[in-house]
Chain A
Amino acid sequence: MKNITWFNKLGFDSNPFSFKPAAFHNEFFGFDDLLLDINKKISESNILFIHGPYGTGKTTILKRIINTFKGKRRVIYYNCNKSVGSINFNRLLINAGWFFNKLFRVRTKNRILLLDEAQDLNKKDFSNIKSYFENKSFKSIILVSKKTDINLPNELKKIIGKDNNFGLGDISSDEAITLIRMRIGDLQFLTDNMVLKIFKKNKNPRAFLKNCEEVCRNAFDLDAEKVNDKHVSKFAVN
C-alpha cells in the first residue's frame, strides 16, 4: 500500500509547505542576512537575544545555528521550560564534555549555549548567565524567547545592547511570495496573486504555510487546474 498525496502528484517528494524548520535547510529564505549577522556575532563572543511569537522562525534559526557550529561538541542546547528552580550551569558544562571530562568532572570551556524558551528563566539564572559568560565558560550565549519582555536585568541588557537584539515577526508580502517560490518553484498551480490572497488571511509564517498547504491540497482534490479565489476563501483560515 502506498499513500500518494497531492504533492506527490505535483512532483514533490515531501510536503513543499512543511513548516518544519529542518525540512528546507538547503534552500533557506529570508533569514539569510540575519543568519550571517547572527553567526558572526556568535563567533565574536556575545550574548544574543532572539525573540518573536509562535511560528515566526525561532526554532528554524536555532536549527541553523546548531548546524553551523555542530561537531566537536561545541553547542549546548537547553530548553528552559524543562527546569523548575534554577539551571545548573556547572552540570551543563560537565555533561557537554567527552567521557573523561565527565569522569573527572572537568568543566568544558568556550561552548556556545542555546537557551530555548528563555522566558522561563529566573533572576538567579540571569546573574549566572552573566558570570559564566564573563569567566569565558561560554563563548556565546543565545537566549530565545516567545516574549519580547523577559525581565532581563539591566546589566544583561547592557551586554546584549541593541545590536544583539533580534526581533522576529510577520513577514512582508514580498517575502511571502519569495518563500513560496523557493518551495514550489515556478509551479503555476498556485499563482503569486493567490499567494498574496492566502497571505492576507494570516501573516504569521507558520500559519501562512499551513494555509498554503490546506488550500493547495483541497484545490487539487477538487480536480482544479489552478488555485482560485473560492479555494482561498473556503480553505484558508485566519
Chain B
Amino acid sequence: MRWYKEFGFKKNPFILNPLKSNFEIIGRGLECEEVLYKISAGSMILIEGKVGTGKTTLLKHAINNFKGKGKVVYVNAALLNKKLDIAKLIHKKPKGMILLLDNVNFLSKKNNDKIKYYYDQDRIKSIVFTTTSYKLVNFSDSIKDRIGKDIIKLKGFTQLTTLEIARDRLGSAEFIPDIVLKRIYDEANNLKEFLAICAALGESLVFQEKEVASVYDLKSINGLYENEDYADTEVCERCHEGLDKIDEHWRCRNCDQFCLNCGVLADDEDIYCPGCGAEFEEE
C-alpha cells in the first residue's frame, strides 16, 4: 500500500511533475497572467528561472487555458533525442498553434532558427520558451530581438509561499505541522527538493506507524532524498551529471552534442562547427 493512502490521499500530494498534477497556481499569479496574455497577443517570450521555480507549472497552466482546440503543443527539449524535427511537429497542425518549449537550452541554433521561421510565417502564433538561464540558450540575434524585453524571471519561492503550497496540497491533512515544514524549507534548495523531502517524510511516518511528524523525524529520512539533490552548480537536467563550461556555454558530456572548441551545439550532419568553424572529427 502506498504511504499516502494511509493518510487518505488517492494520489501523492507531493508529486513533483507539474504536468501530472492539477493544483492551483500559488505565488505566481502575476506571472501566470502575463504568460497567458502574451500567448493571446501572439508574442514570443522566455521564462527564466532555476530548477524548481515553477517554469513548467506556468506552462501547465497555459496548456489548461488554451487546450481543447488542438492548438497547444508542449515539447520538453531536455527529453528530445538530440534533434527536434520542427517541420514534422507542425505538419498537419492548424495555423496559429501555440508552442510551449520547455528547456530550450537543449536545442541547437539551427533548430531555433527553424522555429523562428515558422513563427514569422504565422504557422506558430505564440511561443513560450523556458530555460534555467538565458546565457545557456542558443538564440540568434534576430530571435533575441523578437523576444526583446518579454522575459519573465522567476525567483525561488519564499517561505510563506512554500508553506501555502504545502498546505494547499495537504488540504485538511495535518501530518506535517508548520514548524516541520519550515525546517524542511530551510533544508531544501528549491520547491522540487522541498516536495521530495515532504514525500519522504510521509513515507517514513507510515513506516514508523506515526501520525504526526516532528523535526526529529527529518533526521531519519536523511539520504532518502539525496538522489533528488540539485546543487546550485549547473547540472544537466536530463542525466543530472555536472556540466562542463566551455566559453560561455554549460554542456553535458553525456547528452549534448557540442563543439569541444567553442561549446556551440551541433547537429548530427554538421561537418564544421556552426560557431567557430572548426572541422569535426568522425567518431
Residues of A bordering B, CB below 8 Å? 1, 3, 5, 7-8, 14-15, 18-23, 54-55, 59, 63, 66, 77, 79, 81-82, 84-85, 117, 146, 206-207, 210, 213, 217, 237
B142 in contact with A117 (CB, 8 Å): yes
A21 in contact with B42 (CB, 8 Å): no
A63 in contact with B120 (CB, 8 Å): yes
A54 in contact with B122 (CB, 8 Å): no
Q: Which residues 16-65 of B have a CB within 8 angstroms of A?
A: 36-37, 39-43, 64-65
- Compute the total of residue contacts between A and B using a CB distance below 8 Å: 69
Complex Cα distance A14/B43, Å? 11
Among A66, A146, A207, A213, point to the contact of B41 (Cβ < 8 A): A213
B141 in the interface, Cβ–Cβ < 8 Å?
A: yes
A79 in contact with B117 (CB, 8 Å): yes
Complex Cα distance A85/B280, Å? 13
A5 in contact with B41 (CB, 8 Å): yes
Interface size class on chain B is: 20 to 34
With A3-B37, A54-B145 known as contacts, the answer to whether A20 contacts B117 (CB < 8 A) is no
A–B complex contacts, Cβ < 8 Å, 14 sampled: A1-B64, A5-B37, A14-B42, A15-B42, A20-B42, A22-B120, A23-B42, A79-B117, A81-B109, A82-B110, A82-B274, A84-B270, A84-B273, A210-B148
Among B64, B113, B122, B272, point to the contact of A23 (Cβ < 8 A): B122
Query: In the complex, what residues of A have CB within 8 A of residue B36's CB?
Result: 3
Complex Cα distance A146/B143, Å? 13
Closest to A6 in B: B37
Query: In the complex, what residues of A have CB within 8 A of residue B122's CB?
Result: 20-23
Q: Which residues 230-283 of B have a CB within 8 angstroms of A?
A: 270-274, 277
Among B41, B113, B119, B270, point to the contact of A81 (Cβ < 8 A): B113
Complex Cα distance A179/B245, Å? 46
Query: In the complex, what residues of B have CB within 8 A of residue A79's CB?
Result: 113, 117
